[in-house]
Structure formats: structure tokens, C-alpha cells
């Protein structure tokens, strides 16, 4: 691991490890200092906590990263796009299209085309029957004992790939089947794995599909190898040093590292840093924690963050997207009262602010660091020993400095 990065297995509760310091230039009044050193002390927690956490992460597996579900398809028309960086999960047996449930009828009407730029994931033991066309540059993930039945067309010429769990896959985490997704109109011509399992096929005899450039289904022994990174929830929050992003992986397979991306609109993304994997070779079955600090967040009402994880072989996947709201301290009030100066702050979240007062000639007579909690906060400065006159009281936030003239009598 490169010096300065923070990533460690959870079971080491007493480590103090510096978070990666990424310093980027920024112009404007809210520039953030780049010389602060940050350390993170892991809390000491009982072993039972980590056992429960491990079990919880194992049980949610792929389901933990579902930005959309089959409910989002119902009622949609035309072409439905799964955006890059997002995952649509089919969480229960589901049909879409009049003939997709042949010989029975399917009551679900929806898009005639699925444009997959992100990931279409069919969860364990679930069958997704779809009537229409499938295109895009993303991926279809068919988990343990799941299946996608298609009556229509699938075009992989744009880079679309199909990944599926193949319990018979041995000798490594990945094996590539040699049976392509070609035109097929019956069960007999479906692409089967060696154990006669067909993760992708026709809706019914005579209701098949035409495939273009779909050379192979990539097989994996189980869900954990199909999903190279099992993310738990990505989190981001503002503090006095910028925006802190934290994330956890339950397991890693051939992980080369993470690319941290930021956006002001959730559509166009900029790379603001990179973080390598925490383990040699990128393979781990332990829970690993990561952190990254954006020390120069842009001035915007809402910032969006996501991770792009890349395998050693060049394959990549995106995490879910998180939002961070800009802090608002304009509701801060500074006013005089008998013997004191009162400061009332309505804060969005806890972070450190600098409060000071200066008298004639700019001489600082009071200076303190405060950390308001979310909500309404009240502070007071005792002025009973101050000379009478005008004082400038300033409150410095990450975005601005609020100043108020106060007359002490």
C-alpha cells in the first residue's frame, strides 16, 4: 500500500492510520487550507459486532447496490436507460411485455427497449422474462440459479457483456464459456454451461431472440466472484476539512483500486483522485475500510460522488451515488446583550468554525474554535471586562466569513 492511504481490515480496532491527503488548488473566498494532518482512531467494538456485520454484508451481497428495481420499469415507455454507474435489480420473478410470459399472459407493460449503460442484475433464483430489444455498453449480471429469458433482440456490438454464475466453473474465479448468444428459437439452442444450466435463453419454444456480436457468456463459480467488489454503503459528509468519503468492501477479487469521481449535476463526472486496493494482489475475503478526503469541494448546492472500481484485467464497475449538501450558516446571528455577545447558529451538520472578536486597530481580544451540532446552537462571549467601544465579531465557515459590528457599552 502506498504511504498516506487508509485502508485496513475491520478486526484491527486500535490502529491509527493517516487518511490519504489529496490537495487540489481552489480559487475563491472559501479556499481550504491543505496542511491539516488527519488521523482516524478505530473504535474498540466487541467481536460480536463484527460477526453480525460480516453476516449482514454476506446476506445482502449484490442486493446492497440497487439504484433501481423492476418497479421502475412498469409503466415506462419507449427506451428505458440504466445509466452508467447505476444498477437495476430484478429482485423477484418478473415479466415485461405481452408475450413474455407465454403461454400465460403478462400484465406488465413497459419499455420496448432496454438501454444498459450501467448494470442489469438478476438476483439469486429469480427469472426475468422480457419482450423487446436489449442494447448498450454495460453488463447483465445473472446471479446464482437466476435466468433471463428474452423474446426479441440483443446487441452486444456497443460493448454489452453477459456475466452469470456457473457452479461448474473450476480452476479460478472466472471461466469464459465458448457458446455465444446467437440467434435462437428453442430451448435446444440456448447457450448452456457444462452442467446444463442455461442462464440466458428464450421465453418459450418459438419465441426466441436474435443476437448480434454477443460472443460469450462469462461464467463465475458464485456470486462473490461474479461481483468482484462487494461494497457496503458509500458515505460522504462535510466537515471542517472538506468532504470525507468512506466505504467498505466485504470482499475483493482482482481489485486494482478505486477512482473517486465528483459531479455537480449527477451526469458529468470529474476524477478527483485515486485509491489503491488495500491488499496485495487485490484479493481479500476480509472486511476492508477505505477513506478519501476531497479537500477542495466545489461551491455548489449539491455535490455528487461515486467510485469507479477497476479490476486488474481492466474491467470496472461503479458504486452507488451519494449526495452532499452545501452547509448553510447564513442563518447565524451575532448581537449584543448586557455583558455578553450572543451568537446563534443554525447548522446543517457538526464541523469546526473559528469565532473571534477584534477591537480598535484590529487587536484580537477573543478567539475560539466552536463545533456547532446540527440544528440550533447558542454561544456567548463575556464582555464584562472589555473596554467600551466597537468590536468586529467574525465567524469563519468553510464557505465564507460572517462579520458583525458590535457596540459594547
How far is it, in rounded angstroms, from Cα 391 to Cα 386? 10
User: How remote is the C-alpha of 206 from its chain's centroid?
Assistant: 42
Query: What is the structure's pLDDT at 151?
Result: 96
Q: Is the pLDDT of residue 202 over 90?
A: yes
Count of positions (residues) in the chain: 409
Torsion of CA 355, 360, 363, 364, to 10 degrees: -20
The candidate with the shortest Cα–Cα distance to 353, out of 371, 332, 334, 335, is: 371
Range with the largest mean pLDDT of 110-119, 220-229, 252-261, 313-322: 110-119
Range with the largest mean pLDDT of 44-48, 298-302, 311-315, 344-348: 344-348
Average pLDDT (193-218) is: 89
Contact 364, 371 (CB under 8 A): no
162-174 tens-digit pLDDT: 989 887 766 554 5
Average pLDDT (306-315) is: 81
Query: What is the structure's pLDDT at 356?
Result: 92
CA angle, 61 then 62 then 63, to 5°: 95
Q: Is the pLDDT of residue 200 over 90?
A: yes
pTM listed for this prediction:
0.49
Mean pLDDT of the chain: 78
Residues 6+ apart with CB under 8 A from 123: 62, 63, 89, 90, 91, 143, 146
The pLDDT confidence band at residue 3, using thresholds 50, 70 and 90, is very low
Query: What is the structure's pLDDT at 321?
Result: 82
For residues 322 and 332, the model is more confident at: 322
Q: Is the pLDDT of residue 4 over 60?
A: no
Q: Is the pLDDT of residue 258 over 50?
A: yes
Query: What is the structure's pLDDT at 170?
Result: 60
Average pLDDT (156-165) is: 90
For residues 353 and 153, the model is more confident at: 153
Name the percent of the chain lying above pLDDT 70. Answer: 76
The pLDDT confidence band at residue 230, using thresholds 50, 70 and 90, is low
How far is it, in rounded angstroms, from Cα 219 to Cα 149? 17
Q: Which of 41-50, 181-190, 275-284, 360-369 has the lowest mean pLDDT?
A: 41-50
Average pLDDT (226-248) is: 77
Contact 394, 403 (CB under 8 A): yes
Query: What is the structure's pLDDT at 399?
Result: 64
Strands (DSSP E) found in 67-126: 68-69, 79-82, 87-90, 94-96, 113-116, 119-122
The pLDDT confidence band at residue 302, using thresholds 50, 70 and 90, is confident
Give the side-chain half-sphere CA count within 13 A for 93.
5
123-149 tens-digit pLDDT: 889 999 999 999 999 899 999 899 999
Domains identified in the chain and CATH numbers: 7-45+229-325 (2.60.40.10), 60-225 (no CATH), 333-408 (2.60.40.3080)
CB neighbours of residue 64 within 10 Å: 18
73-110 tens-digit pLDDT: 998 889 999 998 788 989 899 999 999 999 999 999 89
Query: What is the structure's pLDDT at 223?
Result: 73
For residues 16 and 119, the model is more confident at: 119
For residues 116 and 18, the model is more confident at: 116
362-407 tens-digit pLDDT: 889 999 999 888 778 889 999 999 999 999 999 887 667 788 889 9
Q: Is the pLDDT of residue 48 over 80?
A: no
DSSP states along 111-174: -SEEEESSEEEE-TT-EEEEEEEEEESSEEEE-TT-EEEEEEEEE-TTS-EEEEE-TT--SSS-
Amino acid at each position: 500500500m502506498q504511504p498516506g492511504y487508509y485502508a485496513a481490515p475491520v478486526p484491527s480496532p486500535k490502529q491509527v492510520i493517516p487518511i490519504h491527503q489529496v490537495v487540489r488548488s481552489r480559487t475563491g473566498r472559501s479556499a481550504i487550507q491543505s496542511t491539516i494532518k488527519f488521523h482516524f482512531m478505530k473504535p474498540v467494538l466487541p467481536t460480536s459486532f463484527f460477526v453480525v456485520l460480516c453476516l449482514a454484508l454476506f446476506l445482502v451481497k449484490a442486493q446492497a447496490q440497487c439504484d433501481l428495481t423492476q418497479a421502475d420499469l412498469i409503466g415506462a415507455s419507449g427506451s428505458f436507460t440504466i445509466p452508467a454507474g447505476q444498477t437495476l435489480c430484478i429482485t423477484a420473478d418478473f415479466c415485461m411485455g405481452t408475450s413474455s410470459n407465454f403461454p400465460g399472459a403478462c400484465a406488465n407493460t413497459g419499455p420496448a427497449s432496454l438501454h444498459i449503460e450501467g448494470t442489469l442484475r438478476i438476483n439469486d433464483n429469480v427469472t426475468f422474462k422480457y419482450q423487446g430489444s436489449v442494447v448498450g455498453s454495460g453488463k447483465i449480471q445473472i446471479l446464482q440459479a437466476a435466468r433471463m429469458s428474452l423474446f426479441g433482440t440483443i446487441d452486444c456490438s456497443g460493448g454489452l457483456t453477459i456475466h452469470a454464475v456457473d457452479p461448474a466453473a473450476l480452476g479460478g474465479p472466472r471461466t469464459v464459456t465458448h457458446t455465444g448468444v446467437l440467434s435462437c428459437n428453442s430451448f435446444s439452442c440456448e447457450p448452456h454451461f457444462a452442467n446444463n444450466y442455461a442462464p440466458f435463453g428464450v421465453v418459450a419454444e418459438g419465441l426466441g431472440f436474435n443476437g448480434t456480436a454477443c460472443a460469450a457468456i462469462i461464467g463465475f463459480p458464485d456470486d462473490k466472484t461474479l461481483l468482484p467488489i462487494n461494497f457496503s454503503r458509500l458515505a460522504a459528509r462535510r466537515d471542517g476539512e472538506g468532504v470525507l468519503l468512506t466505504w467498505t468492501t466485504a470482499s475483493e477479487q482482482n481489485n486494482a483500486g478505486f477512482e473517486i469521481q465528483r459531479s455537480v449535476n449527477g451526469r458529468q463526472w470529474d476524477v478527483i483522485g485515486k485509491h489503491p486496493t488495500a491488499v496485495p494482489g487485490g484479493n481479500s475475503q476480509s472486511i476492508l475500510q477505505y477513506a478519501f478526503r476531497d479537500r477542495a469541494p466545489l461551491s455548489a448546492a449539491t455535490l455528487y460522488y461515486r467510485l469507479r472500481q477497476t479490476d486488474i484485467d481492466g474491467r470496472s464497475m461503479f458504486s452507488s451515488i451519494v449526495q452532499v449538501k452545501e452547509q448553510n450558516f447564513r442563518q447565524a446571528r451575532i448581537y449584543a446583550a448586557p455583558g455578553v455577545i450572543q451568537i446563534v447558529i443554525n447548522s446543517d451538520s457538526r464541523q469546526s468554525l473559528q469565532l473571534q472578536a477584534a477591537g480598535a486597530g484590529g487587536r484580537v481580544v477573543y478567539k475560539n474554535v466552536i463545533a456547532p451540532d446540527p440544528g440550533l446552537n447558542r454561544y456567548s462571549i463575556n464582555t464584562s471586562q472589555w473596554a467600551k467601544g466597537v468590536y468586529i465579531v467574525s465567524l469563519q465557515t468553510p464557505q465564507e466569513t460572517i462579520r458583525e459590528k458590535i457596540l459594547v457599552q
